[in-house]
Amino acid sequence: MKTVVLKFGGTSVGTVDRIKKVCKIIAFYKNNKNRVVVVASAMSGVTNELVNKSKLISNNFDKAEYDALVSTGEQVSCALIAGRLKNNGFKSRSWTSWQLPILTDGPHSSARICSVGIKELNKYIKFGGIPVITGFQGVSNDFRITTIGRSGSDATAIMLAKFIKADECIIYTDVDGVYTTDPRQYKKAKKIKKIFYDEMLEMASLGSKVMQPTSVQDAKLNKIDIKVKSSFVAKSGTLITASKKIFSNQIITGISSTKNDAKITIVGVRDRPGVAASIFRPLSKNLINVDMVVQNISQNGKETDLTFTIKSEDLKKTERLIKKNKSISYKKLSFDKDLSKVSIIGVGMITTPGITYRMFQALASKKINILVISTSEIKISVLISSKNVKKAVAVLHKEFKLD
């Protein structure tokens, strides 16, 4: 008998009618002689509503109380699912994170799951029960509720699959799989049947909203295959795996894009050991995420120009921090906003020459100017004007035969 972990996202449980449909999916797996464990997110919109209430109470709402507040949404959806399953004749109950417990390390709002208590859970599953477990949350060593970041229910499902040694982990969401690019942005995007962990991790980090990056990383580290499926339509989804079996010879797997990036250039920085650390230290302390970084050394070797990207909403704070940073000296500070990052991702580029040229030539054919470039073994990212994103995605999708 197989053990299956089914995770349902916020849109999947967004209304009572949708919860009833979710319970039919759960019943399908149970009636096909599977042991079933369910992980649920809060109903769509509920967490945002709770966050807004915290902001109305305080501009500096206590982080521990914030986690205690926003974690309540999952308790509601889990109780409703368990109640419906009981109504339909199944043995079921809801479990909150502290009841297992799901133990976490790290700060409030961005904790990571380190262990899951499975003794009582396994006993309940063995005797035919369907546990419905709150996603997105855990409990710290001092018995305070913690949360593991937005979309963290994916991580809960993956770590549960690890600890109970599940045969399958299926993420149900509002899309029927992972696409070559955002189908809302480009109509010729197609569904990817199978994708490597590393490719999915890059796509998630670079703008794809289907999976949370830390969840993909957890799956990769623990060698847990994930299926992404739709709870609204009965279609085959996408398998995220490390297995090389039955993979196509596609060079590029997908194209991701971001919105609202900004570029900062610090011109004429005195070049010395530790200068980059001096620039980025205050940004790190203020939780500003730095992405693409390019450094150019002057011909005399005494000065450097440093360019990096951040999110547009952090631009004013970053400018303020750089200007008051007494540990660096520079000649000029410049900013550009309304920029976006477009990336091509694929393990095939490791062994295929000419990918960089093809990408740049395709963009040039549409007169799209590249501002910054960054690369890894399996991705190439370029920073361009946001007004050119749709055009860039379309030409790259066609160039690498993804249409």
Q: What is the number of structural domains in the chain?
A: 1
State how far the Cα of 353 lies from the Cα of 241, in Å rounded to an integer.
25
Tell me whether residue 257 is in a domain: no
The reported pLDDT for the residue numbered 272 is 83
Tell me whether residue 50 is in a domain: yes
């709002």: which residue's tokens?
109
Query: What element of type H or E holds 344?
Result: strand 332-345
Tell me whether residue 195 is in a domain: no
The reported pLDDT for the residue numbered 185 is 83
List, for residues 59-76, the tens digit of each pLDDT value. 999 999 999 999 999 999
Burial 224-236 (b: 16+ CB within 10 A, else e): bbbbbbbbeeeee
Residue 127's domain comprises 3-174
Residue 122, SS3?
helix
In the chain, count H helices and then E strands: 12, 19
Tell me whether residue 53 is in a domain: yes
The reported pLDDT for the residue numbered 302 is 81
Tell me whether residue 123 is in a domain: yes
The reported pLDDT for the residue numbered 116 is 96
Q: Residue 363 corresponds to which amino acid?
A: L
Cis amide prior to 101 (ω within 30 degrees): yes
Tell me whether residue 113 is in a domain: yes
Low-confidence ranges of the chain (pLDDT < 50): none
Tell me whether residue 42 is in a domain: yes
Sign of the torsion angle spanned by Cα atoms 311, 313, 319, 324 = negative
Q: 394 CB contacts (<8 Å, ≥6 apart)?
A: 186, 188
Tell me whether residue 390 is in a domain: no
CATH code (residue 145): 3.40.1160.10
